[in-house]
Amino acid sequence: MFKDSSLHIAARDSIAWWKAWLIRLIAVFLSLIVCAIVIFGLTKMNPVEVYKGIFDGAVGTSRRTWVTVRDTMVLLLIAIGLTPAFKMKFWNIGAEGQILVGGAATAALMIYAGDSMPTPVLMILMFVASLAAGMIWGIIPAIFKAYFNTNETLFTLMLNYVAMQIVTFCIVYWENPAGSNTVGIINSATRAGWLPALGGLTYGWNVLIVLAFTFGMYIYMKYSKQGYEVAVVGESQDTARYARINVKRTIIRTMGISGGICGIAGFLLVSGASHTISTSTAGGRGFTAIIVAWLSKFNAFVMILVSFFLVFMEKGAIQIASQFNLNENASDVITGIILFFILGSEFFIRYRIAFTKAHK
């Protein structure tokens, strides 16, 4: 492990797409085997039954399927939001906080303005407010990065917890019933500020909004002048300066977009899913989405697949855990194992390994 003389590792020039996908598939397959072993070890459940259970938990009923789709869409949207930042090599670990402030802005409007205006107006207002809140949360670290090169990984990370405290601060004022320290379902009687169904589909708007952003981001990154600037800044700031790109403005603008989209994910979570707000509204999605975006190499189509797969496994694991009266955090363990395997598999895509004969 500590000497590479007999093991020769060389970077690949390129790899056929099917080979890369074969390697990833093998990794996923191996991770599923390990997951099955873990679940079997804990529950003595027949491994085939395990996967039946997971399937059942994720898409067993039409309602479960829709919840899986809904959560996939939110995860996808956050990953889409992170894409421009990562493409710029700006480590936005702060999606969690950006989601929370977006969600808090949405909840505030639901609570204070829920009954005083027509639904379309309210929806647009909530959309804009969550966008703005996320933007602000994204722009703060970007300004310091742009002007003082302050480490953004740690800055955005810290802001997550500041956002969390802002939410608990709000909960003090919004709690319902009094003394519960939770907000409860907002406007549960009037359903004011709840994202309505679209053409009979409960989560129709969720899907539509996320797919629109996905498509829009694809076009933006690939064809727009700003998208080009983001790519250049990400590859080399010296080149960007040389090409007369305003690096500071690009960093701040891109983080505004990134944070804004994450803020909208908060809107979808509060108005379009849970109809409440708490510190766990983001629930680690901001972190998982980082991994989704990274593993997908910022390819929107792959992001859909990866998001769906992770949410699918998460829902399935929760189902099995509750069946055996175990803790639902089992899903995080499962997610972690799968991620380890996929992360490790990237090595075999990037590098070729050959055994060299000993030179004696």
Question: Left, alpha or beta for 89 (phi > 0: left; psi -120 to 50: alpha)?
Answer: left
As a whole number of angstroms, the distance between CA 78 and CA 290 comes to: 8
Nearer to another protein, 18 or 148 (CB): 148
Nearer to another protein, 123 or 295 (CB): 295
As a whole number of angstroms, the distance between CA 289 and CA 206 comes to: 17
Nearer to another protein, 188 or 329 (CB): 329
Q: Three-state SS for 201?
A: strand
Instruction: Give yes or no for a cis peptide into 84 (omega within 30° of 0).
Output: no
211 and 289 Cβ atoms separated by less than 8 Å: no
Question: Distances in Å between the alpha carbon of 154 and those of 6, 87, 159, 329, 360?
Answer: 39, 18, 9, 26, 50
Nearer to another protein, 4 or 115 (CB): 4
As a whole number of angstroms, the distance between CA 332 and CA 308 comes to: 15
Find the shortest distance in angstroms from Cβ 121 to another protein. 28
Find the shortest distance in angstroms from Cβ 336 to another protein. 2
As a whole number of angstroms, the distance between CA 355 and CA 132 comes to: 55
Q: Which residues partner with 142 through β-bridges?
A: none
Nearer to another protein, 115 or 235 (CB): 235
Find the shortest distance in angstroms from Cβ 85 to another protein. 12
Nearer to another protein, 15 or 192 (CB): 15
Nearer to another protein, 69 or 326 (CB): 326
- Largest distance between two CA atoms of the chain: 85
- Compute the residue count for the chain: 360
Question: Left, alpha or beta for 191 (phi > 0: left; psi -120 to 50: alpha)?
Answer: left
Find the shortest distance in angstroms from Cβ 128 to another protein. 21
Q: Three-state SS for 7?
A: strand
Q: Which amino acid is at 47?
A: P
Nearer to another protein, 222 or 301 (CB): 222
288 and 75 Cβ atoms separated by less than 8 Å: yes
Find the shortest distance in angstroms from Cβ 92 to another protein. 10
Find the shortest distance in angstroms from Cβ 358 to another protein. 8
Find the shortest distance in angstroms from Cβ 239 to another protein. 5
Find the shortest distance in angstroms from Cβ 231 to another protein. 7
Nearer to another protein, 240 or 264 (CB): 240
Instruction: Please name which of 197, 218, 193 lies closest in space to residue 206, comparing C-alpha atoms.
Output: 197
Find the shortest distance in angstroms from Cβ 150 to another protein. 4
Nearer to another protein, 130 or 335 (CB): 335
Find the shortest distance in angstroms from Cβ 5 to another protein. 4
As a whole number of angstroms, the distance between CA 78 and CA 48 comes to: 33
Give the torsion sign (CA, 135, 137, 140, 145).
negative
